[in-house]
A and B are shown apart, each in its own frame.
Chain A
Amino acid sequence: MNLIQIELFKLFKQRRTFLALAAVFIFEIVVFVIAYDQGANILDVVLNTLKDSFYLKGDLLNGNLITFFLVNSMAFHLPLLLMIIVSGIVTLEYQEGTIRTVFLQPVSKWKFLAAKFAAAIVFTIGVVFVLAITAFTFSYGLFGRGDLVVYMDSLNFFSEQDAFKRLLYSFFSGMLTMIFYSCLCLTIAVFLKDALKTWLISILFLIITNLTGQLQFNLPGWDYWFFPKLVTTWRKFFNFEIPWEQIWGSHLLLVFLTILVIFVGMVQFYKNDIE
């Protein structure tokens, strides 16, 4: 516990941590401003054909839709920021040489890195919580509540209460994905020991995952087992019928992959000499 507290203390003593958190807020503000300025027009274009056949009652540009936009930041923006901050937990130790000072003290290598993984997970959970709370608070405060309309292969309409539940589930599901990304970039950092190289490889991984996640093949288990689909499981909460079985399977697989990534990182770190 002591080592985890130390890692979190060090993390929050660095300006870059707060800059990254500020970037999350700035992203939220940008979404709010765009939604306020352009949201109604975009919705009109999307729903224009439907308006000929259906009577749409109420304001669809509401807090639930804005929160849905913010949930979507878990596809790229949030993991990108998290990877930049979290990789520093390891790369800065190599960059500043403090890793030498640490292991000139009677400190276990296993415990030291395990604490770093634990701190990264705690930090990631915290960031997703902050994103969720601020997203709901400001979206509902500024745009009010209402039914949610989203396009997932087809246009799906959800009632106000149902939308809130689905958004909440998707934040929890996305949290698992963010934890995976954080642990992955920490392991990459253990291998590369360099901030820039770690960022580049992590970003490349994120881009490839996002691009290949768009691929659709009619293969059995494609949506179930294909890795880039696993990390976007949170999107499945906006299918008209929530595929619970598929979601649980994907989550379990993602947790297993996260543990595997941590294990690989730990073994490599133990093998690394401290130069």
Chain B
Amino acid sequence: MVLDGISISCSKGEICGVLGANGAGKSTLFKIITGLIGPSSGSVKIHTHSSKAIGGIIEKPALYPYLNARENISVFAKMQSLKLSPKEIDEQLLLVGLPLEKNYAVSKFSMGMKQRLGIAIALLNNPESLILDEPFSGLDPLGIESLKGLIRHLAHEKGIGIFISSHIMEHLLSLCTKLYVLKNGKIVNSGAIDVLMERHIHQYEISGTGLKGSKVLEAYQVVFVNSSALVSIQKEQVSKLLTDLLKEGIQVHGCKAVWNMESLF
């Protein structure tokens, strides 16, 4: 059994994340929700009056490589009996930040451009929610940030509920308000990001100069890694610790929460 007893929800305008290692069942979950594959038992019910409740990209943006961006949008629109004018096609391209002058075949597109075009196609017929399976894989750091901006825009400005899956936590933390942790086909943890942080962050990585000689840090449980100190501490104590370190004359460059992956998974 790939999935067992899964229950997830995402409201209008909300971005929810599904975190899981490779093979945890993220893509299978999304394929069942979108109806690409049928569940061996149980059913998927989507309460909507729209002809397309969910749009999405599963695994990778799959497009006709010999067609250009406009032709791809036009073909997928016609398939669902949408008659888009050239102006409307251009608007769809602009919505996802694709330049209008790129008229060459999609096979020559970068992965970032393919993701954007995939999202443009997923948005055809105005779905109420969007499913993006590993949307950041294959993107460079600039492309990741740019795509995050687009996802935020679609959720906050257009009111679309968006589910994103990833095996990289940082991607989800910077976007999502709610997180589901999937392991071996089961949801092993879920909730608002803030609540999960309370439960699963007990260490902070502080980077700076002179940390190893700090008297303040002697009062805590610390592991030193290069110029950083991994301090076991509660969230409420972080401000005091940083203030004390500054008073001691330590130059602090950064402070990052470290998730306890063992308790999260």
A residues in contact (CB < 8 Å) with B:
2-3, 5-6, 9-10, 13-15, 96-107, 112, 273-275
A97 touches B56 (CB 8 A): no
B79 touches A102 (CB 8 A): yes
B residues in contact (CB < 8 Å) with A:
31, 34-38, 51-52, 54-67, 71, 75-76, 78-81, 118, 121-122, 124-125
> With A and B bound together, what is the CA distance between A275 and B121 in angstroms?
19
Cβ–Cβ < 8 Å partners of A9 in chain B:
75
Q: A103-B35, A105-B124 are in contact. Are A10 and B80 (CB under 8 A)?
A: no
Cβ–Cβ < 8 Å partners of A97 in chain B:
59-60, 62
Instruction: Give A101's nearest chain B residue, CB to CB.
Output: B62
> With A and B bound together, what is the CA distance between A82 and B75 in angstroms?
24
Q: A13-B66, A97-B60, A104-B55 are in contact. Are A273 and B79 (CB under 8 A)?
A: no
Interface residues of A, dominant DSSP:
helix
B52 touches A14 (CB 8 A): no
Cβ–Cβ < 8 Å partners of B124 in chain A:
105
A273 touches B36 (CB 8 A): yes
Cβ–Cβ < 8 Å partners of A101 in chain B:
57, 61-63, 76, 118, 121
Instruction: Give A3's nearest chain B residue, CB to CB.
Output: B79
B67 touches A98 (CB 8 A): no
A103 touches B36 (CB 8 A): yes
Q: Which of B57, B62, B67, B78 contacts A13 (CB 8 A)?
A: B67
Q: Which of B52, B64, B78 contacts A96 (CB 8 A)?
A: B64
Cβ–Cβ < 8 Å partners of A103 in chain B:
34-36
Instruction: Give A107's nearest chain B residue, CB to CB.
Output: B79
A100 touches B66 (CB 8 A): no
Instruction: Give B38's nearest chain A residue, CB to CB.
Output: A273
B59 touches A98 (CB 8 A): no
Cβ–Cβ < 8 Å partners of B51 in chain A:
106
Cβ–Cβ < 8 Å partners of A99 in chain B:
62
CB distance from A77 to the nearest CB of B (A): 26
> With A and B bound together, what is the CA distance between A275 and B28 in angstroms?
9
